[in-house]
Amino acid sequence: MTVSQASTSSGGSDDGYTLPETLQRLSKSPQGFILGAILAPLIRGLENIVLRLLETLTFVFQGSAPGLIGTYGLADIPLYIGTQLVNVGSIIGGSAAGGTGILGLINRLVEAGLAFATAGGPLAPIIVAGELVVVVYVIVVVARRIILVIADAVPGLAGVLGT
């Protein structure tokens, strides 16, 4: 008598029914099934959360693109401030050749003084020397005022400069 005949003769017929593959894996290795079916998706979800967090931190630091394009990030702040300072400096300083800003004003003063000195005849060297003193004085006053404004704007710098 064979094994298959013994099972059918004892009345325990299986009628061709087999357990689903999932239940077979569970019955063979419950611990492996739990680790594979439950913990694997949780770990993948945790990995996705960590990646999203890192992408968000990168976006906050770098912005949407490097440089002053799109959304600015923390790394773009010094570049933005520098660009604004250069723009303000070019507006204030201007150009001596173009006659704009402080340099244009000083250029006009120098030209007016030279025209006056040319008309002064023998007193021209004294007029040019006086003009030189006035121009240097104006430059020193303007530079000192700029330094004081910057010192007041930067915390702690006024104490270091003693102003």
Cα–Cα distance between 145 and 40 in angstroms, integer? 67
Q: Where are the domains of the chain?
A: 20-62, 94-161
Q: What is the pTM of this model?
A: 0.40
Q: What is the pLDDT of residues 39-61, one digit of tens each?
A: 778 888 888 899 999 999 888 88
- % of the chain beyond a pLDDT of 90: 4
Task: Tell me the C-alpha to C-alpha distance, in Å, between residue 120 and each of 92, 106, 114, 125.
Answer: 33, 21, 10, 9
pLDDT at 96: 65
